[in-house]
């Protein structure tokens, strides 16, 4: 299992637009990808679940999967300001 913790870079957190972009990228992988915040784990392929995670700008989110490439891609998206 590969894990990477990253700080949310989107200025307004993981709301609808960033959540949709992350979910779409996660959906391209066959392996399960989890996002973890304060002990709560959610499926990264669900934009609704990403939004309910409540990850604000500056929050530390852990990305976890068996696929290291998936972890790197999703962590990279979370770290970017996807609203810029």
Residues involved in catalysis: 15
Q: Which of 37, 39, 21, 32 is nearest to 82 (CA)?
A: 21
Strand partners, 66: none
- Cα angle vertex 17, ends 57, 4, to 5°? 50
């Amino acid at each position: 299992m590969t894990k990477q913790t990253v700080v949310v870079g989107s200025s307004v957190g993981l709301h609808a637009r960033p959540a949709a972009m992350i979910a779409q990228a996660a959906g391209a992988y066959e392996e399960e990808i989890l996002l973890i915040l304060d002990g709560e784990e959610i499926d990264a392929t669900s934009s609704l679940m990403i939004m309910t995670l409540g990850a604000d700008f500056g929050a530390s989110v852990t990305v976890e999967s068996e696929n290291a490439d998936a972890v790197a891609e999703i962590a990279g998206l979370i770290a970017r300001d996807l609203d810029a």
